[in-house]
Chains A and B, each alone.
Chain A
Amino acid sequence: MACQGLSKGETVSSLRAESENLKAKLEEERSKLHDVELHQVAEKVEALGQFVMKTRRTLKGHGNKVLCMDWCRDKRRIVSSSQDGKVIVWDAYTTNKEHAVTMPCTWVMACAYAPSGCAIACGGLDNKCSVYPLSLDKNENLSAKKKSVAMHTNYLSSCSFTNSDMQLLTSSGDGTCALWDVESGQLLQSFHGHSADVLSLNLAPSETGNTFVSGGCDKKANVWDMRSGQNIQSFETHESDINCVRYYPSGDAFATGSDDATCRLYDLRADREVAIYSKESIIFGASSVDFSLSGRLLFAGYNDYTINVWDVLKGTRVAILFGHENRVSTVRVSPDGTAFCSGSWDNTLRRWAGYSFRFVYCCIWTL
């Protein structure tokens, strides 16, 4: 961001005073529009009935903690990465492993599937994000075609392809996010504004333009313009690290999961937090969140080994899912919304499906 020249008489203390004034003004402007709570608006919406949600498949094969996963757009394949340095591509139908890559580092904290389904990106303690084209030949050594794209000065925490295989967005423990050209490895844009490790990023749904949200250890969630690098909006209401950020399907809001044991919903047009998903009994951090297709359900994985399912509008919990035997590190809903997958420090991934009784007109038992 270009910095204007200093005006005469500006000192650190005069600027600090102005900064405090502006922060107060920002709070005041936001409060003026805070006329109602989301759950009050949603009072007349029918409550969701009892939920039936079960593990349909358990994917075993990682030798250590699963840290990250992503779905392929074909709604069938997933990629997962682990502390043991392995990145595996699975068929979530059959649980077959289709590809496996051994990274030169441990703690592969980030992985992502390319939109074409023909490549994956991953990285972690190597401070890089590398792209591996996926070969149809299962005997081919994927590492031979590895391409190093992103270079940070600290660990890679999260990565995502943009709308094509050509650009990659990354976030890092070095406090920055960055946009890269995959082919050349060139840095296209960098995003500065977090004052500590950035832990997660998520691209806005494509209809809403070129923005993304990031969250980190400075307890802030920032919304960025991808082209200019400008920090458009910033939200700071969490009381601890933000581990995960995900957009609401319409692109008008996003949810966060934090070490303060709450998940929160921030609306971009109201420019404020509009809901908190918490209970006194939930005291462990939320590591990962994702929405169902309509945005009505928020799935959140916690460090107490559970997954809580929240009614986004009413702010209530509609289900607790047990099954994992250690922290849940990642939760992602499939692209067609029929299932969601969770990854855990118990070395496994689970694919879950189910529904609310309220909506089922007739029971069709398929399994």
Chain B
Amino acid sequence: MSAASSVVAMKKVVQQLRFEANINRVKVSQAAAELQQFCIQNALQDPLLTGVSSSTNPFRTQKLCSFV
């Protein structure tokens, strides 16, 4: 790799790092609280947590009750 192209490559790395260093961040405590809030708010609509009720389960086989 020529000297000129490695300087160009390094320049790109530095520019990218400057960009990343300048972004706004929030505290983990706040971010974590929001992740948790989302989970809790949506828990009852999560079929893999609550189970799927008989009427809405698309995979339910149609069975007829018969009394012998």
Contact = CB atoms under 8 A, between A and B. Distances in A.
A270 B16 contact: no
Given A12-B7, A313-B35, A353-B52, A36 B15 contact: no
B21 A26 contact: yes
A34 B28 contact: yes
- Contact count band on A: 35 or more
Contacts, number: 202
Contact of A12 (B6, B40, B46): B6
Given A267-B32, A313-B39, A355 B25 contact: no
A36 B29 contact: yes
Q: By CB atoms of chain A within 10 A, which of B39, B42, B48, B59 has the most?
A: B48
Contacts of B35: 38, 248, 250, 252-253, 267, 274, 295, 312-313
B25 A269 contact: yes
B46 A33 contact: no
Interface in A38-84: 38, 41-42, 45, 48, 56, 75-76
Interface of A: 1, 3-4, 6, 10-12, 15-16, 18-19, 22-23, 25-26, 29-30, 33-38, 41-42, 45, 48, 56, 75-76, 93, 193, 230-234, 248-250, 252-253, 267, 269-272, 274, 292-297, 312-313, 333, 336-340, 353-356, 359-360, 364, 366-367
19 contacts: A1-B15, A3-B12, A22-B17, A22-B21, A29-B25, A41-B32, A267-B28, A267-B35, A269-B31, A269-B34, A270-B30, A270-B32, A293-B48, A294-B45, A297-B48, A356-B49, A359-B44, A364-B54, A367-B59
